[in-house]
Amino acid sequence: MPAQAMQIRPMGEDQLAAVLAVQAACYPPSMQEPAAVVLARLRAAAATTLVACDGDAVCAYLFAYPSLLGRVTPLDAPFAPAARPDTLYLHDLAVAPQALGRGLARRLVRQLLDAAAGQGLRHAALVSVQDTRRFWEGLGFEPDAGRPPCAGLATYPGSALYMTKRLTGATPD
């Protein structure tokens, strides 16, 4: 199915098993986060958690929540949405292997970045893992070199990089 025909919608709790299957296909065992944590995150941040679906099949997902610049969610930790957020924190973006390269990841990210900018959040932030720095740079994120290493970054295996982006309006194509 062409990517434009796939639907992006809020994640439902009935999609948890399918989301975990995408996670299992996209991350090594050391980065698999438990079902209970994933469900608690969905409940804490339902307005900023999306799936891309081909019919009923979940092809990709994005978990995010309103946070503060400089804060990182440690691996396996619950979300702690900020009472007075300035940043949309993108915690986990994954595309199932059979749906890679169709622009779904960018569509998911742009949808939440545009909504966050519309709500007045000034920044977006994330931890880049699995050699995705260039993917995020393509969406306007940069390594946040001026900041001391964030607490939580060390919980990620491999090279993990904190990246940020200023939100100034619609995300360019």
Ligand X SMILES: CC(C)(COP(=O)(O)OP(=O)(O)OC[C@H]1O[C@@H](n2cnc3c(N)ncnc32)[C@H](O)[C@@H]1OP(=O)(O)O)[C@@H](O)C(=O)NCCC(=O)NCCS
List 21, 35, 98, 131, residue binding ligand X (CB under 6 A): 131
CA 34 to chain centre: 17
Cβ nearer to ligand X, comparing 42 with 95: 95
Collect all residues with Cβ–Cβ distance below 8 Å to 32 and sequence separation of at least 6.
Answer: 23, 24
Q: Are 58 and 95 in contact (CB under 8 A)?
A: no
95 binds ligand X (CB under 6 A): yes
Stretch that binds ligand X, among 49-57, 68-76, 91-99, 115-123 (CB under 6 A): 91-99
CA 108 to chain centre: 9
Contact track, ligand X, 27-66, x by CB under 6 A:
----------------------------------------
Burial call 53-67: b when 16+ CB within 10 Å, e when fewer? bbeeebbbbbbbbbb
104 binds ligand X (CB under 6 A): yes
Binding-site ranges for ligand X (CB under 6 A): 26, 93-95, 100-106, 128-132, 134-135, 138
